[in-house]
A = this chain, B = another copy of it.
Amino acid sequence: MSVIYDRVALIGLGLIASSMFWAIKRAGLAREVTGYARSAETRVIAREIGLCDRVCDSAAEAADGADLVVLCVPVGAMGAVAAEIAPKLMPGATLTDVGSVKRAVIDAVKPHVPPMVHFIPAHPLAGTEQSGPRSGFAELFDNRFCIVVPQKGTPEDEVQRLERFWQGLGSFTERMEVDHHDLVLAVTSHTPHLIAYTMVGVADDLRRVTDSEVVRYSAAGFRDFTRIAASDPTMWRDVFLNNKAATLEILGRFTEELFALQRAIRRGDGEHLHAYFTRTREIRRGIIEAGQDTDAPNFGRHPEKAR
């Protein structure tokens, strides 16, 4: 692998940016990587652990002279950051982001993008339930998909350059239309997160079952929900506020379907339940065959320590 962008600026130093840094270094995709985080504490940690070749004290300083600027902040903060760095963006530079929502980010960022800068929104479909500058690792994007959402008028070779960069980070790239992206993600990510948050909240709130019971008996299924319900609250607040329409649409379909199953339970309609549960097995098989999950039982969890 060789250098694709001379200088890359990472704005925001959480899970995604820190993983990008280690993956850039692994593959030698840039000569220099600058970084900026709003929190002074995060900048201190970044300097301490060698995250970024140069940690800057402002977003504008980090972006100054970069060939590729990556916005890695929560979706709700993208617009303000874009406004701040705009004056420093070099002609010919590419501005991209890693936001989980694309329509709202484009609406917020685009007005600030100078004419000679290529704005190419993107979204790597990778993450863990952990967050912060210490949570990153070089393998995060390996065999995951990165969706690129090119805008009209962007030169094809600059889009391909960004795609080569993401491939260098370990990902497969796919192009998608902006609203379709937001709908697909509402199904595969946003609604599942909201449902997991809800289920964990209900369990926590129930007076007749103690938290300690929920915790002790969680291996019966509940614990699978708690992983994504432990994800970064700010990031997820912003996702839901900025992908309202698609999330509410899928939630509507979800409750409709849930009510149908609820009715089958109430009426004792075992056939309906059995047919439904048989169908859902197939989807998991597809995910495993596509290499998007492990086929080891229990996600290959290792035996945990005794209490």
Contact at A202–B254, with CB atoms within 8 Å? yes
Q: Name the prevailing secondary structure of the A interface residues.
A: helix
Q: How far is the CA of A248 from the CA of B287 in the complex (A)?
A: 30
Contact at A219–B183, with CB atoms within 8 Å? no
Q: How far is the CA of A292 from the CA of B298 in the complex (A)?
A: 12
Kindly identify which residue among B139, B217, B227 contacts A189, using a CB–CB cutoff of 8 Å.
Answer: B217
Contact at B202–A183, with CB atoms within 8 Å? no
- On chain B, the residues within 8 Å of A39 by CB distance are none
A192-B224, A266-B244, A283-B204 are contacts. A302–B300 as well, Cβ < 8 Å?
A: yes
Contact at A219–B126, with CB atoms within 8 Å? yes
Contact at B281–A184, with CB atoms within 8 Å? no
Q: How far is the CA of A172 from the CA of B262 in the complex (A)?
A: 33
A189-B217, A287-B218, A293-B223 are contacts. A201–B280 as well, Cβ < 8 Å?
A: yes
| Chain A residues engaging chain B, CB cutoff 8 angstroms | 76, 100, 125-130, 135, 139, 142-145, 147, 172, 174, 183-185, 187-206, 208-209, 211-231, 233-234, 236-238, 240-241, 244, 247-248, 250-251, 253-255, 257-258, 261-262, 265-266, 268, 270, 273-274, 276-287, 290-294, 296-307
28 A-B residue pairings within 8 Å (CB atoms): A129-B284, A174-B216, A184-B209, A184-B214, A185-B217, A187-B214, A188-B203, A188-B217, A190-B221, A191-B199, A192-B221, A194-B258, A194-B265, A202-B257, A218-B292, A223-B292, A227-B298, A229-B277, A230-B280, A230-B281, A237-B270, A240-B265, A251-B258, A291-B304, A293-B301, A294-B302, A299-B300, A300-B301
